[in-house]
Amino acid sequence: MDHRILRRLGLSDLPEVKRVLQRSAMIADYMFWLCGGSEHGISKLIKLYWQAMIEEAITRAESFSVMYTPFATKIRADKIEKVKEVFTKIHPAYVEFIYTDFQGLHVLPQTVDWSSFPPQQYLLTLGFKNKEDGKFLEKMSSRKLPTFTEHKTPFSLLTREDTVRHMETMGKRILPILDFIRGTQLNGSFRACSGVMEKLQYASLLSRLQRVKEQSQVINQAMAELATIPYLQDISHQEVELLQSLMADAMDTLEGRRNDKERVWNTIQKVGRIEDFLYQLEDSFLKTKKLRTARRQKTKMKRLQTAQQS
């Protein structure tokens, strides 16, 4: 699909569509090879489109910067630290938070050769101007359920102002980063449906604001992602059931059936908020415990000094 077709559909200026096409081009290239495609001209066109989309995404990114490091063996912790040191020197303006996706395997259209599988693998390092964006990614890679930022009262209903703020956070800060990471990654280091789940949450926010056309576009993008998951990675029986439930709910949403509150992704969001809330309580407890221990140590030292002076 070229930019003339996008313009004809009225989609050429939508960055989220371009991000999805970036990943779609990678998947199309891989599926073409996997299905025995031998026409090099077609493969080359797909690869060129994929490469152009990646380069455009890197050029236009303002909130984060990226570095790809080729590697052939398992990355050790000390190597990751060296990678972060190099990143800091190259991108000094993006060091508020540095995230390294050392669990994922990334490939680049400039060098990928599917016939010599596995192709050259790359370590992805992202640096952020906003610390919270990087922390969100770190949470996603370490937890089972999606997490959500800026939710100070996790069990209360969102006001319209809160809904708008959450929608902007998801649409401008979270989804672009997730799509960018997945743009050069087939299987993904996050659990199955992660990334897609955030898109469906974003669609729910659009629905609350009655932005029906945008909601439909986002759900269709998520449906396309869900359809390719079983072909790109091994998933458990539980994940298969989740995928089927998400696809059924997405189809019901597009057809206007059932209440939005009954959707699987909204149920998971509630559980994710509970998990987030418990993590916050744990963090608060550990910080308080650490402060108390430090105070006791300080008091003990003062007593010892007083005893020695007397």
The tokens of 98 are what? 């540095």
Give the dihedral of Cα atoms 235, 236, 238, 239; nearest 10 deg: -10
Q: Enumerate residue ranges in the chain where pLDDT < 70.
A: 1-20, 72-74, 103-104, 141-156, 187-192, 258-262, 265, 267-285, 310
Contact by Cβ (8 Å): 148, 79: no
Please tell me the distance from the alpha carbon of residue 31 to that of residue 160, in angstroms, as a whole number.
42
Condensed to tens digits (0 to 9), the pLDDT of residues 3-12 reads 444 444 344 4
pLDDT of residue 94: 92
- Rounded to two decimals, what is the model's pTM? 0.71
Condensed to tens digits (0 to 9), the pLDDT of residues 64-96 reads 899 998 886 667 777 888 888 999 999 999 999
Please tell me the distance from the alpha carbon of residue 171 to that of residue 221, in angstroms, as a whole number.
14
Please compute, for residue 251, the number of CA atoms within 13 A of its CA located in the half-sphere on the CB side.
9
pLDDT of residue 270: 60
Beta strands in the chain (DSSP E): 64-71, 97-106, 121-128
pLDDT of residue 92: 92
CA dist 283 → 150, 152, 278, 287, 290 (Å): 16, 15, 9, 6, 11
